[in-house]
Chains A and B, each alone.
Chain A
Amino acid sequence: DAKTTQPPSMDCAEGRAANLPCNHSTISGNEYVYWYRQIHSQGPQYIIHGLKNNETNEMASLIITEDRKSSTLILPHATLRDTAVYYCIVRVGLQNSGGYQKVTFGTGTKLQVIP
C-alpha cells in the first residue's frame, strides 16, 4: 500500500470549513484513497473514499488532485463533535484484496475544532 503523509495537528474554528490534506505521491493506479476518523475513546469511523473523481457524501467531500498524488478532506461546517484524529489511508479496492481489507493506519491528523 502507498504511504501517506498528514500534518500531525490542525485547528479549525467552529462553523468554518476544515480542510485536511494528505500526500500520497507513490499511489498506484488501482489504489483508492480512504478517510476514517476516530473520536476519543471510540472506534474509527469510515468517512469517505474515492479513486480519482471528487466525492461527496453527508459527512464530507473528498478532493483528489488530477495526478492523484494528494487529496483533501473537507468538512464544510465543522462542529465541536468533529474534533477527532483523521486518518488518510491508501489501498487497493476489493477486487484486488482477496475479499477483505488489510487497513493500515498512519499517525493521522488531530483536528481540534475551537468554539
Chain B
Amino acid sequence: DTEVTQTPKHLVMGMTNKKSLKCEQHMGHRAMYWYKQKAKKPPELMFVYSYEKLSINESVPSRFSPECPNSSLLNLHLHALQPEDSALYLCASSQRGTAQGEKLFFGSGTQLSVL
C-alpha cells in the first residue's frame, strides 16, 4: 500500500462551522505533513509531524489545529475560517531510514471552500 488517503475530497463550510480534515497512511511512515495550495500557486508547508510530535508550525493561524493521534493518522481541525482560507489542503508522508534523502508521498487533497 503506497497511498496517502485524504477525506473528504471536497468540503464546503461556513465561517462559524467546525470541521476536520483527515489523512491516513499505512506505509509505516513516521513523518506527516500538511500543505495548503491556492489556485495556480505552489503548495505551501503548514505543519510537520515527526514521530507524532509537532516539529514545524509555519506560523499558521490558530484557526487551523493539527493533530496526530497515531503514526498512521493526521487530522486538521478547522474553526472560524475565513473565505481566503479556501484552498486545496494536501497531506503528505515520508519515511526516514535512507541515507540518500526521502521522497514525500502526497494524497490527492481536500478542496475546501469557505463561504
Instruction: Tell me whether A and B are bound partners.
Output: yes
Measured CB to CB, the residues of A under 8 A from B are 32, 34, 36, 38, 41-46, 49, 51, 85, 87, 91-95, 97-108
Measured CB to CB, the residues of B under 8 A from A are 4, 30-31, 33, 42-45, 48, 50-51, 55-56, 90-92, 94, 96-109
Are B42 and A101 interface neighbours, CB within 8 A?
no
The 6 closest A-B pairs by CB, nearest first: A43-B106, A93-B101, A105-B42, A100-B31, A46-B103, A99-B96
> What are 18 A-B pairs with beta-carbon distances under 8 A?
A34-B101, A41-B109, A43-B92, A43-B106, A44-B43, A45-B106, A49-B101, A91-B101, A93-B99, A94-B99, A97-B101, A99-B31, A100-B94, A100-B96, A101-B31, A104-B45, A105-B43, A105-B44
The verdict on A51 contacting B96 (CB below 8 Å), with A43-B106, A105-B42 known, is no
**Separation of A34 and B104 alpha carbons in the complex (Å):** 10
**Separation of A108 and B42 alpha carbons in the complex (Å):** 8
**Separation of A72 and B55 alpha carbons in the complex (Å):** 33
A42, A94, A107: the one contacting B101 at CB < 8 Å is A94
